[in-house]
C-alpha cells in the first residue's frame, strides 16, 4: 500500500494516495516499439540506471512495433488532397520537421479567452453544420519530428492521447496536456516506458504547431515535470489496488481555481482492437500545476464486482470509466462518461465545482431530470460507439461541442445547447478512410473555442500525436 498524505484544498481536506518515485524494472512489452535499428539507442549524457522504466506492467501486445527514436515517422498513407498538402515530413531525426498547413495568413489564437457561458434554460436550435467542414493536419505534437522536440527534451519518442485543459492560473496561464503509455530511448532498460506523462505549454500560435519549454524537477510552470534532466516523469502512479494493471490512462482533465483534476482509468486487459477492460476509473489531484499528483480513494469506480481492493461496486459506475469534463458556467462541472473502449454510448453527470472529488455530490441525467447519487439512473445522451472524447463551449456556434472517435475510426462532432443535450446528429470531421494507420482520441484545445478548432489526434501506426485543425462552416 502506498503512503497516505493529506492535501488541503480550499476549505476541504481530503485524503489522497500519492506515489512519486520510480519503482522496479519494466517487464519487456510483447509488442516492442524499439525493435530494429533503434534497439541500442541511448540518450545523450544520461545514465540508464537513472532513466529506466517506471515499473508496472507494460502494454500487452497491442502497442505498435514502429514507434522508435531512430526510424523516420511513417507516411500517413493515401490521404485526401488537403491532408497531403498539409503534412510534409522530412528526413529522419530532423527536428521541427513538419510544415504548417497552408493558409492565407497566420492564424493566432486570441490572447483573451471568452467568458464561460451560462447553460441555456430553453432549447436552442442546432446550427446547420453542413457537409464536410475543412480539416487539415498542422503537425506532430510528439515524436522525433515534433515542434516540441519531445525526444531530446523529455525522453518521449512515442505516446498517445494528449488531453488538454486550461490550468486556471491567471498569473501563469498554461494548457496542460496529459498523455498515455509513453516510450523514450530504446537502449535504456525498460525502453523508458511510463504509464503517463504531462506537458505544459503557453503557445497560442497554434497554426504553427505546439511548442513546449524545457522541463524541470522543481519549477511547476516548466514544460514538463521531470524526474531527471531531460526526462518527463510518470505523474499518476499505481495505487496498487488491482492485482493486474496494464495501464494508468488519463481520460479527462480540468482545473477548479488553481487545483488540477485528472480522471484516469486503470486497465486490466487490452482486448480486441477498440476494446479493453478496466479495473476502475478514478480522479487524481494536483495542487501544484501538475508537478505532483495524488489519487482520491473515494473516487474509485469499479465497472463490475471484481477483486479491486478497498472499494465496492455501485451499479452504473460502468458508464463512467472514460469521459470528459466541461464547465457549464452555472457553477457545475459536467462530467461525461462512457464504458471502457469505443463501443458504448455517452452519459453525463454534474457536480458543484467545489465538490469534484466527492462522488456523493454528483447528479446524473436520466433523460429528463438530474438524479443525485445514483449513476445507475444515467440515460444515454448519445447512442452508438463513442470512444475517447472531449467537450467544450463554442463561442462561434454558441453551443456546446462534443468530439470523439467512433469504433470505425472516424472522428465525429456534435453540438447541443446544454451538456445534457439534446445533441445533434454527428458531423464527420476526420474519416477513417483518409487516415489509414488508425486515428483516435480527438482532444480539443481549450483556447480554441471559435470558428477554428484545434485538437490533438493520435495516430496508431506512428504511435504519436498530431495537432489538427477543423474550420467550422
Specify the residue for cell string 522543481.
218
Chain-centroid distance, C-alpha 315:
26
How many Cβ atoms from other residues are within 10 Å of residue 374's Cβ? Answer: 15
Q: How far apart are CA 50 and CA 408, in angstroms?
A: 41
For residue 213, give every residue at least 6 positions away whose Cβ sits within 8 Å of its Cβ, in sequence order, or none.
200, 201, 202, 222, 223
pLDDT for the residue numbered 144: 86
pLDDT in tens, the chain (473 residues): 322 222 223 323 345 665 332 222 222 222 334 543 344 556 665 443 445 555 555 553 344 433 333 333 333 333 343 433 333 333 222 222 222 222 323 333 333 333 333 333 333 333 333 334 689 999 999 998 899 999 999 999 999 999 999 999 999 999 999 999 999 987 777 789 999 999 999 999 999 999 999 999 999 999 999 999 999 999 999 999 999 999 999 999 999 999 999 999 999 999 988 999 999 999 999 999 999 999 999 999 999 998 899 999 999 999 999 999 999 999 999 999 999 999 999 999 999 999 999 999 999 999 999 999 999 999 999 998 999 999 999 999 999 999 999 999 999 999 999 999 999 999 999 999 888 788 999 999 999 999 999 999 999 888 999 999 999 98
pLDDT for the residue numbered 58: 52
Backbone dihedral angles phi then psi of residue 367, each to the nearest 5 degrees: 105, -15
**CA-CA distances (angstroms) from residue 303 to 72, 294, 342?**
40, 22, 15
pLDDT for the residue numbered 45: 52
How many Cβ atoms from other residues are within 10 Å of residue 179's Cβ? Answer: 30
Backbone dihedral angles phi then psi of residue 152, each to the nearest 5 degrees: -70, -35
pLDDT for the residue numbered 437: 83
Task: Report angle CA 362, 262, 401 to the nearest 5 degrees.
Answer: 70
Based on its alpha-carbon atoms, the radius of gyration of the chain, rounded to whole angstroms, reads 21
How many Cβ atoms from other residues are within 10 Å of residue 269's Cβ? Answer: 15
The SS3 assignment for 194 reads strand
Amino acid at each position: 500500500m502506498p503512503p497516505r498524505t493529506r492535501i488541503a484544498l480550499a476549505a476541504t481536506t481530503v485524503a489522497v494516495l500519492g506515489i512519486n518515485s520510480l519503482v522496479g524494472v519494466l517487464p519487456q512489452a510483447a509488442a516492442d516499439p524499439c525493435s530494429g535499428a533503434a534497439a541500442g539507442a541511448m540518450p545523450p549524457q544520461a545514465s540508464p540506471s537513472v532513466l529506466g522504466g517506471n515499473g508496472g506492467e507494460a502494454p500487452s501486445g497491442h502497442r505498435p512495433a514502429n514507434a522508435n527514436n531512430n526510424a523516420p515517422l511513417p507516411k500517413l498513407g493515401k490521404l485526401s488532397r488537403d491532408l497531403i498538402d498539409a503534412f510534409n515530413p522530412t528526413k529522419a531525426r530532423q527536428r521541427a520537421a513538419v510544415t504548417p498547413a497552408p493558409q492565407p495568413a497566420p492564424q493566432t489564437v486570441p490572447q483573451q479567452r471568452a467568458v464561460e457561458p451560462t447553460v441555456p434554460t430553453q432549447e436552442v436550435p442546432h446550427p446547420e453544420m453542413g457537409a464536410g467542414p475543412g480539416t487539415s493536419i498542422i503537425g506532430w505534437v510528439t515524436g522525433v519530428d515534433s515542434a516540441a522536440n519531445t525526444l531530446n527534451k523529455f525522453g518521449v519518442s512515442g505516446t498517445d492521447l494528449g488531453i488538454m485543459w486550461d490550468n486556471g492560473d491567471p498569473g501563469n496561464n498554461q494548457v496542460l496536456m496529459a498523455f498515455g503509455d509513453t516510450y523514450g530511448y530504446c537502449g535504456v532498460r525498460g525502453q523508458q516506458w511510463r504509464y503517463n506523462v504531462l506537458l505544459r505549454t503557453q503557445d497560442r500560435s497554434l497554426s504553427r504547431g505546439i511548442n513546449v519549454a524545457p522541463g524541470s524537477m522543481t519549477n511547476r510552470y516548466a514544460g514538463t515535470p521531470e524526474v531527471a534532466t531531460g526526462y518527463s516523469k510518470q505523474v499518476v502512479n499505481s495505487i496498487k489496488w488491482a492485482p493486474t494493471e496494464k495501464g494508468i490512462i488519463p481520460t479527462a482533465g480540468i482545473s477548479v481555481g488553481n487545483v488540477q483534476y485528472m480522471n484516469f482509468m486503470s486497465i486490466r486487459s487490452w482486448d480486441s482492437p477498440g476494446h479493453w477492460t478496466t479495473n476502475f476509473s478514478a480522479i487524481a489531484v494536483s495542487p501544484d500545476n501538475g508537478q505532483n499528483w495524488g489519487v482520491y480513494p473515494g473516487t474509485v469506480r469499479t465497472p463490475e464486482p471484481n477483486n479491486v481492493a478497498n472499494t465496492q461496486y455501485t451499479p452504473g459506475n460502468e458508464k463512467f470509466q472514460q469521459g470528459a469534463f466541461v464547465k457549464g458556467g452555472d457553477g457545475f462541472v459536467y462530467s461525461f462518461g462512457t464504458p471502457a473502449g469505443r463501443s458504448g454510448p455517452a452519459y453525463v453527470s454534474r457536480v458543484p465545482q467545489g465538490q469534484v472529488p466527492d462522488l456523493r455530490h454528483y447528479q446524473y441525467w436520466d433523460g429528463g431530470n438530474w438524479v443525485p447519487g445514483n449513476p445507475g439512473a444515467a440515460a444515454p445522451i448519445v447512442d452508438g460507439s463513442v470512444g475517447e472524447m472531449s467537450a467544450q463551449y463554442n463561442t462561434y456556434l454558441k453551443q456546446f461541442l462534443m468530439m470523439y472517435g467512433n469504433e470505425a475510426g472516424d472522428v465525429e462532432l456534435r453540438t447541443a445547447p446544454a451538456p445534457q443535450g439534446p445533441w445533434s446528429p454527428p458531423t464527420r470531421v476526420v474519416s477513417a478512410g483518409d487516415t489509414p494507420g488508425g486515428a483516435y482520441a480527438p482532444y480539443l484545445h481549450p483556447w480554441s473555442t471559435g470558428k477554428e478548432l484545434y485538437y490533438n489526434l493520435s495516430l496508431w501506426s506512428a504511435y504519436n500525436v498530431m495537432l489538427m485543425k477543423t474550420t467550422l462552416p
